[in-house]
Amino acid sequence: MTNHSLHPADTAVPKIAIIGGGLTGLLTATLLERAFSQDQNQKKSGSPHITIFEKSRSVGRLATRYRTDSHTTSDNKQNWQWAFGAQFFTAKTAQFQQFITPWLKTGLLQSWCAQVVTIAPAASSEELPDIQHKEQWNTVQPRYVSTPKMTAWGRALADELTQTTIKFQTRVAPLPQYAPTQTDKTTELFDETGVSLGRFDWVICTAPNGQALELMADSEFARQADILKPKMLACYTLMLGWDAGQQLPEAINSQKDPWDVAYVNDSPLDRIFVEHQKPAHDELLPSVTIHARNDWSQAHVDADIETVKTQLLQAAQQLLRWNTDSAPSQVDCHRWRYAATDIDAQSKENNDVLGILIDQQHRWIVSGDWCGQGNIESCFQMAQDTVKAIVSR
């Protein structure tokens, strides 16, 4: 890669690059815009130029897959839909609660007062699984979902950005090694074909930690060793769908103990989510998302995906006991290599997390949910910390 003759970024109007258009990237851009607009009122300084580079075609691990039933007519299209990444999120801090309020008012975000059960496979094929009531999620400690699908909130955040350009399908190449000088502290980024993406006063990397490790490997990033600290675990997700009017397995459709979310015991499966019972999801064809256990997924992370799909489908059949009439007509499986941050219960309780990694000399920040507890609320926390670090300079 050559250093093209670009001028250093204008320091009065900071140019900020964010690698990754997941929630951490989008929330960081949103909070940066807000912080600089407040600063502008007070000090009449310029607005930042923010660019988000995202290698895929859409926003991060907030993922929705849908499939249209080819039997339905064009004016009565019906979909199966699966939130195959994050299913819901919490907002435990006052700041995050306040941040999401506008979307709660519009109904784009809604609380999910799900009936939650535990479920374990039955001892014999004649019996139904053991289903025990666990709790009902409520509005005191709400779990939120985005409607009509999980990706909607990410898209809404992206649409509301006014000083940020999002470049999809742009994969940033690993940062080259270089030393900032007294007169030029900017970093030039390149895409994977070696084309310059511009010079930036700050570079914020929000890629999952395995990818952050590769991006920063040769750059002499001052906190490189810390990227290795959190252990990431994989997750396989099974997506099941049933035709309109088709009989559902009794274990899902129990009249006696209706449920929306199940925590699974004694199985490679971990949690089951009934998609068509979420708020504002009732137009869907019957759709169920099942996350496999993280330890099981990690142990099978390099296995052939079709083999894993068969194994998980067998486990689901053993648990939910469908017959030929009530077998799902749609089956899909997705592998997440970096799904969850492995945190012990004590550290989780004390919010004892790594935090964002700052290299003041280069003006680089490595961030992402994995610097926190590995959930959506952590994305907000890490975005807040990043903005604080930049604004304090």
Ligand X SMILES: Cc1cc2nc3c(=O)[nH]c(=O)nc-3n(C[C@H](O)[C@H](O)[C@H](O)COP(=O)(O)OP(=O)(O)OC[C@H]3O[C@@H](n4cnc5c(N)ncnc54)[C@H](O)[C@@H]3O)c2cc1C
Shortest distance (Å) from residue 71 CB to ligand X: 30
Alpha carbon distances (Å) from 180 to 201, 212, 227, 236, 287: 11, 21, 22, 42, 53
Q: What mask, x for binding ligand X by CB under 6 A, covers residues 89 to 128?
A: x---------------------------------------
Does 188 interact with ligand X (rule: CB under 6 A)? Answer: no
User: How are beta strands 144-146 and 164-167 bridged, if at all?
Assistant: unpaired
Beta bridge partners of 364: 203, 359
Q: What mask, x for binding ligand X by CB under 6 A, covers residues 41 to 80?
A: ------------xxxx---xxx------------------
Nearer to ligand X, 203 or 321 (CB): 203
Applying the rule CB under 6 A, the residues between 199 and 238 that interact with ligand X are 206-208, 211, 215, 235, 237
Does 172 interact with ligand X (rule: CB under 6 A)? Answer: yes
Does 376 interact with ligand X (rule: CB under 6 A)? Answer: yes
Shortest distance (Å) from residue 67 CB to ligand X: 19
Q: What mask, x for binding ligand X by CB under 6 A, covers residues 252 to 291?
A: ---------------------------------------x
CB 151 within 8 A of CB 137: no
Nearer to ligand X, 50 or 321 (CB): 50
- ∠ at Cα 217 (216, 221), nearest 5°? 55
Does 154 interact with ligand X (rule: CB under 6 A)? Answer: no
Nearer to ligand X, 121 or 368 (CB): 368
User: How are beta strands 357-359 and 364-366 bridged, if at all?
Assistant: antiparallel
Q: Could you tell me how many residues of this chain bind ligand X (CB under 6 A)?
A: 37
Q: What does the alpha-carbon distance between residue 333 and residue 306 come to, in Å, rounded to a whole number?
A: 8
Q: What does the alpha-carbon distance between residue 61 and residue 21 come to, in Å, rounded to a whole number?
A: 9
Q: What does the alpha-carbon distance between residue 25 and residue 207 come to, in Å, rounded to a whole number?
A: 9
What region does 20 belong to: left with phi over 0, alpha with psi -120 to 50, or beta?
Answer: left
Does 164 interact with ligand X (rule: CB under 6 A)? Answer: no
Beta bridge partners of 190: 196
Q: What does the alpha-carbon distance between residue 366 and residue 210 come to, in Å, rounded to a whole number?
A: 12
Nearer to ligand X, 261 or 321 (CB): 261
Interacting residues toward ligand X by CB under 6 A: 19-25, 53-56, 60-62, 85-89, 171-172, 206-208, 211, 215, 235, 237, 291, 336, 339, 368-369, 374-376, 379
